[in-house]
Structure 1
């Protein structure tokens, strides 16, 4: 064993842990977590804007405005209007290049889906998993962090386009280690940083907010974008042109009714194999799609669950559904709350 290298490793480890363990009073505390379950795809070409406009639920042209956002939330739908993939689209310094964040488990299928619609357009679609990796920084309160893009580190920073409570996305070079990222972003050590834990992590943060993400929580071809709260999460535009699955989405929004939505639930016992949410009388009210540390996200029938008249049970144990505080105060009327499958 090379003792010199071993000591160097120990020094780096201690330095890194000091950055995470330093919790002096008066300094804000945040959690920095690498999103290993997410992957970035680069879409590049002269026709990239109309290409993406015809596929996603949101208006990509907003990213090209000088005063526009640095990222948008969007979904890819099938022809029946059901969700295939959720994504965050990031703009870059080049107007012909966008970065799309998706679930790593379906990243190959995601790129294959994009190439299916490329036809004769001169567009390159490639994984940049070996170049950049997404991280998230959150504080558990308002979530957002005021950070500037760091050209020296080649780091791209964007607030989560869905909710401020979901924190700040950081796209960093894959070879950039944790210590380099921390010291580069906070050179004066002005922030307390804690590592993710079972009681404080990005997945749990999402579950407490009731936000589904990825192929396990938003199974491809199973739910509609408005059931997944795309309208409340800034993920769908009703003013842009046509895109795959647009007709049914627009019809539901303008004259349809929505019976089910994703919302947070609180469990009273560990969840077993049965993830169906029921009333005490045995009526099925929805299904849990993700859970951790007594919190989860479930697709539930709005009217029956939120009236307070129903006691909810999952896997034989009591559970509680919660109305997200980021939902609009004036939810659609009862007629729009019943969705016809």
Structure 2
């Protein structure tokens, strides 16, 4: 299968990474990390009606992917009829205008494909997994975002695209399954022995997401439990308010235009290990939200915006202090009168 590629980032970064990886080289910059996303899977959706099919299901405008100057990938969500999130995805265009690759949570892959097939009806659409052909990887640097501009290349084997949500989450790579970590690094940077570090528990992609308050997958975005704007889909370039109708569109549009949103996903820092009780409370005992994912001393939670960010309350989990940060990638002009209620 032919897929789109982007190698400008690799050329721009090759010299800097080579210098940082040479024995004895002094580098104050944090190294790039290359990590296989074992909890993510790729689904191929193919057919002459693939664009109108996806347009009626996802929050974003899929037609932009077919435009010559459009993005190579986009973030989107699938909603239920009540406007709540079922699945999150990154949609990748390919060199075939009738074929898209959809990245999903591996744990929910079967349910995701079943959801797609349920709405296929009489459309000539093929839906199947490509886990035996391609696997997703991520290349990231905790200290600075990727610097990539879209550019196509006919170099074989890889699809390379900046994360469409926020630059700090790095670069997505879709690689053939036969490329393990050593082979992939040699393919990306020829004639360079060490080009990026492997991830470890103290420096993983999961921790990177938690530091930026981005939820991903059915464990952190439980199906039917939150609205797309609570999951920051509007801030993460994951929803279009100008496209036509899609499942769950009515409530999403109404909430957006009313500006009434009480809760959002935010990054959290813990002073002690999180137990089985994930409820975030104030010192006075008021329920302010819930932790949806955690690792090390970091996590992501769905929390009430006004008392958490605009109040003076101390936050606790099981009596232990925790802290919430306002994500740096949130728009700077977020107004207090938009932080009210989604019920």
Pairwise CA distance, 1:150 = 6.8
Q: Distance in 2 between matches of 1:119 and 1:266?
A: 46
* 1:95-106 alignment, distance < 5 Å: 95-106=97-108
Q: Deviations over 1:47-99 (max 9, x none)?
A: 00000000000000111111111000000000000000000000000000000
Q: Distance in 2 between matches of 1:143 and 1:235?
A: 19
Q: Distance in 1 between matches of 2:335 and 2:118?
A: 36
Pairwise CA distance, 1:142 = 2.1
Query: Using a 3 Å threshold, how does the CA distance of structure 1 residues 317 and 149 change in structure 2: closer, same or farther?
Result: farther
Pairwise CA distance, 1:138 = 0.3
* 1:39-54 alignment, distance < 5 Å: 39-54=41-56
Q: Distance in 1 between matches of 2:235 and 2:332?
A: 11
Residue number in structure 1 paired with 2:211: 208
Correspondent of 2:307 among 304, 308, 311: 304
Residue number in structure 2 paired with 1:37: 39
Q: Count matched residues.
A: 323
For structure 1, the 5+ residue unaligned runs are 1-17
For structure 2, the 5+ residue unaligned runs are 1-17
Q: Distance in 2 between matches of 1:337 and 1:176?
A: 46
Q: Deviations over 1:291-331 (max 9, x none)?
A: 11101000000000002411000122100010001111111
Query: Using a 3 Å threshold, how does the CA distance of structure 1 residues 88 and 77 change in structure 2: closer, same or farther?
Result: same
* Secondary structure of the structure 1 residue equivalent to 2:265: strand
* 1:1-341 alignment, distance < 5 Å: 24-25=25-26, 29-144=31-146, 146=148, 151-189=154-192, 192-334=195-337, 336-341=338-343
Q: Distance in 2 between matches of 1:32 and 1:206?
A: 15
TM-score under structure 2 normalisation? 0.90
Pairwise CA distance, 1:332 = 3.3
* Secondary structure of the structure 2 residue equivalent to 1:63: helix
TM-score under structure 1 normalisation? 0.91
Q: Tell me, yes or no, if the aligned pair for 2:289 and 2:303 is still in contact at 8 Å.
A: yes
User: Bigger radius of gyration, 1 or 2?
Assistant: 1
* Secondary structure of the structure 2 residue equivalent to 1:114: helix
* Secondary structure of the structure 2 residue equivalent to 1:29: coil
Q: Tell me, yes or no, if the aligned pair for 2:263 and 2:342 is still in contact at 8 Å.
A: no
RMSD: 2.0
